[in-house]
Amino acid sequence: MQQNDRMTMMAEAPVHQVLVRMSLPMMISFFIQAMYNIVDSMFVARISEHALTAVSLAFPMQMIVVAVSVGMTTGVSAVWARYMGMGRQDKASAAIRTMTALCFLVSVVFVLLGIFVTAPLYRFQTDVREIAEMGTAYLTINWVAAFGGIFGKYYERLLVSSGRSILSMISMASGAVFNLIFDPLLIFGIGPFPALGVAGAAYATVGGQILAGIVGIILNWKHNGPVRRDMLRIGFHPDAAIDIFRVGAPTMLTMGLSSLTNFTINRILGAYSTTAIAVQGVWMKLQNFCYMPAFGLNNGMIPILSYNYGHGRPDRVKKTMDLAIGGCAVLMTVLLIVFELIPGAILTMFNAGEHMRQLGISCLRACVIALPFGAVSMMLSTSMQALDHSRYALIINLLRQCILMIVCYSILSALTHSARHIWFAVPATEIITFTVSLILNRRFRKTIVALPKGTE
């Protein structure tokens, strides 16, 4: 399909068909990606509970890379699609060149963090030497090689923005398959490979990210004509950078604050036991897996919203939002029911001992209640970002991923002094945020008006 045909599809084809076509490949690829994150933890848990705790403590720090890359790519995706919808190829090209420069800069920053920050960071989090040593090795590798994930996310998002979601799925899936294959080989030393333990899991992860980035470059070069001449060119255009960060900053900030939140929660749980931290790590991986439908719908929804907003079609904007949010709520409810029924079987996959199993069942049964509420809040926040209402998105994300979560965990810990009851902080946070999101959504929808095509 030619680029003009793809843009015509986003502007004229039935909304439900466009949303499915744009989102389904992304949902599949995100499911694959989440699956290898879960498998990664399952293999690490076979080493020891301390190994699982070490990886769990690294998770908030890994999410900083995700926060930066997702924030910037969300920004460039919306900006590029909007300017394409307005017929401003010059500004769309400037956004791509600027994004390439930003990716290089951020990659260098994480190399420095990986070299100088990881060891003292782990010494601050735990006084268990084995956990600190394994965690330092794991996080150092992930941060130093973060360029794979940063550029991989960038090139995948370029494919999605231009309507090539299936190719984006291929890029993401290639990295996931690499990780699934090399995880056990490098962790346990199967065949000619050395037994690297936790470090092996890190090498498999970053290797998969680098491969996905390379595949993304190749697919964009061969099949994505509108970005081919710009995607490998470095340039910095201040106006483009401002546009990118205006849209992406709320995601970047709140996901970054989410890392701080998880760091703080781990400190609270550490007062109970290292097992509680391991259980929290399992929940975070499972939560990411459950939210994959929402992430896929988000990625498919953004270019449709941005293009039709720039093209002056508020009717299609509202219909896209309704379909995406409704479909996501149904999927999350189904997952809630499934996970409420089988928490013990899930924990068995993580080699849980009796103490971890007891804590884990309490955790999962409390936390999964939050899934439908959190997913709808996420979808509403993304819609607001894509349509230049970042202040509303910022309020939702700050409440959901930082302020309320820390407050609820702290209050329940002080009131109950029980690691089994503290997990109800998760549904409490999501239900409150969901209520606020609905209130802001009523105001937000009244402001969605047609933007005349070609205006700046």
Could you read off the pLDDT of 342-366 as tens digits, one per residue? 999 999 999 999 999 999 999 999 9
Does the pLDDT at position 27 exceed 70? yes
Domain boundaries, the chain: 3-446
Predicted confidence (pLDDT) per residue in 406-427, tens digit:
999 999 999 999 889 999 999 9
Q: What is the pTM of this model?
A: 0.80
Q: Which candidate, 185, 448, 438, 186, places its Cα nearest to that of 308?
A: 448
Q: First and final CA of the chain: distance in angstroms?
A: 28
Residue 46 confidence (pLDDT): 93
User: Which pairs count as long-range contacts for 276-281, CB under 8 Å and 24+ apart, including other chains?
Assistant: 276/359, 276/419, 277/53, 277/56, 277/57, 278/49, 278/52, 278/53, 278/56, 278/356, 279/356, 279/359, 279/360, 279/363, 280/56, 280/363, 281/41, 281/52, 281/53, 281/55, 281/56, 281/57, 281/59
Rounded to whole angstroms, how far apart are CA atoms 362 and 344? Answer: 10
pLDDT value of residue 455: 42
Window from 49-58, 260-269, 296-305, 346-355 with minimum mean pLDDT = 296-305
